[in-house]
A and B are shown apart, each in its own frame.
Chain A
Amino acid sequence: AQSVTQLDSQVPVFEEAPVELRCNYSSSVSVYLFWYVQYPNQGLQLLLKYLSGSTLVKSINGFEAEFNKSQTSFHLRKPSVHISDTAEYFCAVRGTNAGKSTFGDGTTLTVKP
């Protein structure tokens, strides 16, 4: 069984400030880890994924996430946010041998001018 906990339901920040969205998971098997972003009235877009190898993964738009096995965490960070980053962010885990993903409850990131 797997579970995902996103520790903050809402994160308001000012433009150009740094942000961290926290995600912890539990699983009895090896997992892949993902961050998805959902803009209003749209589907989910894959933002980042950790499969294996380097524990720090980066996206093309400045987000990064670090897999910490000992703390079972996969926190998402960005050093300087933009208004356009306002969206819902979902952390998800997927067993390496399973067809199902488990999603966290989501974190609403609101970037204010």
Chain B
Amino acid sequence: DTEVTQTPKHLVMGMTNKKSLKCEQHMGHRAMYWYKQKAKKPPELMFVYSYEKLSINESVPSRFSPECPNSSLLNLHLHALQPEDSALYLCASSQALVTYEQYFGPGTRLTVT
């Protein structure tokens, strides 16, 4: 199984809502990533977890809160988002932090109204 799954596929939320994005992999990978991708732009790294501990935070606003409850799951909690946060949110995993190959999920298309 070389798949990274993400739910939901689409999410529409208001600026006062609280929602969560979920990511799951069963490849035994110990590094997991959140990226944000705007239309026609490359993915921008947000967070990296290694062995369930936050390893990299790319100065992301606190309205985005990551969580790694176990080695297979990665969540991104959203609160008080702004319309400019609308984007495709991609999850990825790799065998370890310094392993070369990342596997990406299909993404969650988020719209903030």
Whether A103 lies near B101 (C-beta < 8 A) is no
Q: Output the least CB separation between A7 and chain B (Å).
A: 15
Whether A99 lies near B56 (C-beta < 8 A) is yes
Select A97's contact among B41, B98, B104, B107, beta carbons within 8 Å: B98
Q: Indicate whether A44 reaches chain B with its CB closer than 8 angstroms.
A: yes
The docked-state distance in angstroms from the alpha carbon of A106 to that of B55 is 27
Select A99's contact among B31, B103, B104, beta carbons within 8 Å: B31
Residues from 75 to 113 in A contacting B, C-beta threshold 8 Å: 88, 90, 94, 96-101, 103-106, 108
The docked-state distance in angstroms from the alpha carbon of A100 to that of B48 is 9
The docked-state distance in angstroms from the alpha carbon of A21 to that of B59 is 32
Q: Output the least CB separation between A100 and chain B (Å).
A: 6
Whether B106 lies near A43 (C-beta < 8 A) is yes
Measured CB to CB, the nearest residue on chain B to A95 is B98
Whether B55 lies near A99 (C-beta < 8 A) is yes
Q: How many residues of B contact A (CB 8 A)?
A: 25
Q: Indicate whether A13 reaches chain B with its CB closer than 8 angstroms.
A: no
Q: Output the least CB separation between B32 and chain A (Å).
A: 11
Measured CB to CB, the nearest residue on chain B to A108 is B40
Can you list 13 A-B pairs, Cβ within 8 angstroms, ordered by A?
A36-B104, A41-B109, A43-B105, A44-B90, A44-B92, A44-B104, A45-B104, A90-B42, A90-B43, A99-B55, A99-B97, A99-B98, A106-B41
Whether A32 lies near B100 (C-beta < 8 A) is yes
Whether A100 lies near B56 (C-beta < 8 A) is yes
Whether A94 lies near B100 (C-beta < 8 A) is yes
Whether A98 lies near B98 (C-beta < 8 A) is yes
Set of chain B residues within 8 Å of A51, measured between Cβ atoms: 100
The docked-state distance in angstroms from the alpha carbon of A104 to that of B40 is 11
